[in-house]
Structure 1
Amino acid sequence: MTSATHLYDLLESHWETFGEGFAAVWSEGISVKETALRLGADINSAAERTFADIALGFEGDDMPGDDEGIILVGNLDRWTLTLQIQWADVAEIDRLLALSRDGGRAIAVSWHSDSDHLVECAKDGKLVFSGPMEDALDPLREYSAGLRMPTDWDIPASQGEPTEEMITTAFVAIGRMVGREIDDAWLRTPHVRYLIRRTGKNASAVPWR
């Protein structure tokens, strides 16, 4: 039987600080390189990495500063999936709108430490939802059959973690929308890591919200 926290547990097994801060965006109908371009990434910083190795192998001018974004972009069938471990550029509204323009869709999640867990959805260059993750099944109602968000936030930690269940539930619904859940095979496959620099058009990027 699938655990109520299976996707949280899977991602944490590849990146141990996953629960402390993370951002991701699913983008419909565009290539890996186009996704990176619309996110404002430095295309020349491209390197193949798995999710677990996303922070490894930086040298010389490619060494990121503490204020620069680190993202991993890969194909997920007809969509691309972008994971971010430093800052939350991929969940910024202007980038979400850029990813979804020309008839596409994009959906982002983000959180950091004790900040709100957020979900934002865009379609054809317009924002259609922005709110807390516990409300994510509303814009995803078409894909939420049999799913429910946790309701008891005061249970002892020994009996489970509602935040982990909430994240898993949102990721399951998003997986249904895009046609494939994040899985171990995707996480173990090398994709393309890029940096989002804090110079030029990236200088206005905002930190974790």
Structure 2
Amino acid sequence: MPNPTHLYDLLESRWENVTDGFAAVWVEGLTVEETARRLGADLGSAIAVTLANIGLGFEGDKMPGDKDGIILVGPWNAWTLAMQIQWMDVTEKPRLSELSRDGGRAIAIGWHGGGGHRVEYAIDGRLTFSAPLEEMLEPLHEHAEGLRMPTDWDVVGSPIDEMIATALTAIGRLTGRELDEEWLDTPHVCYLIRRTRIRRTR
């Protein structure tokens, strides 16, 4: 029987700052580039990196500002996965509506500063579920057999790790693929969601 935190541990092994803040969205039926476009990314900022190296490779005008979003987007069977390590654009309602419009689905999880763990689920352009992450199994009840969220919140650390791992397991069942080393160790496309103004000279 796998460790109840194994998927969280796997994610943390590639991105050690995951406790401080992280966000991800799984999008049905869109290409990597279309997912990035609907998230408002600068398509010209694209570089190929793994999650572990997502902070590398930015130079010159591709250097992100403190307010820019940083996303890593890659194929996920019939879905696309976008992970975000700076800001939480992928969990915002307008983004999810855009990602899921025209009959698609988008499911996002995220947290920041060690708290605010939430799930957002949109179908065909409409947000159908928005709640704390511990309620994750409610909208995915068809994929929740044998899963349960931890209840012993007096234990520091491990219940949150287990909650995230359980959420990742349920999403894996929904999308047909569980988070794995292959996806994490394969270079995907990193984009910036720019919010800083570029100064223009005459």
Corresponding position of 1:92: 92
Alignment of 1:106-145 (within 5 A): 106-145=106-145
Corresponding position of 1:153: 153
Corresponding position of 2:168: 171
For 2:107 and 2:77, the matched residues in 1 are separated by 15
CA offsets 1:6-52 (integer angstroms, 9 cap, x no match): 01000000010111100000000010000000000000000111110
Aligned residues: 197
Quote the offset at 1:114 in angstroms.
Answer: 3.5
User: Aligned residues: percent identity?
Assistant: 63
CA offsets 1:74-116 (integer angstroms, 9 cap, x no match): 0000000000000001111100010000000000001011431
For 1:115 and 1:168, the matched residues in 2 are separated by 15
Q: Report SS of the residue matched to 1:117.
A: strand
Q: Supply the AA of the counterpart residue of 1:188.
A: D
User: What is the TM-score when the length of structure 1 is the normalising length?
Assistant: 0.92
For 1:90 and 1:106, the matched residues in 2 are separated by 10
For 1:69 and 1:55, the matched residues in 2 are separated by 12
For 1:63 and 1:37, the matched residues in 2 are separated by 19
Corresponding position of 2:41: 41
Residue among 173, 178, 183 paired with 2:180: 183
Corresponding position of 1:22: 22
Contact 2:143 2:173 in 1 (8 A): yes
Q: Supply the AA of the counterpart residue of 1:176.
A: R
Contact 2:21 2:114 in 1 (8 A): no
Corresponding position of 1:81: 81
Contact 2:91 2:120 in 1 (8 A): yes
Corresponding position of 2:200: none
User: What is the TM-score when the length of structure 2 is the normalising length?
Assistant: 0.95
For 1:114 and 1:31, the matched residues in 2 are separated by 31
Which 4+ runs in 1 deviate beyond 4 A? none
For 2:191 and 2:116, the matched residues in 1 are separated by 26
Which residues of structure 2 form unaligned runs of 5+?
198-202
Quote the offset at 1:126 in angstroms.
Answer: 0.5
For 1:114 and 1:181, the matched residues in 2 are separated by 24
For 1:101 and 1:131, the matched residues in 2 are separated by 21
Q: Supply the AA of the counterpart residue of 2:56.
A: L
For 1:142 and 1:19, the matched residues in 2 are separated by 28
Q: Supply the AA of the counterpart residue of 1:13.
A: S
Which residues of structure 1 form unaligned runs of 5+?
201-209
Q: Report SS of the residue matched to 1:116.
A: strand
Quote the offset at 1:199 in angstroms.
Answer: 5.2
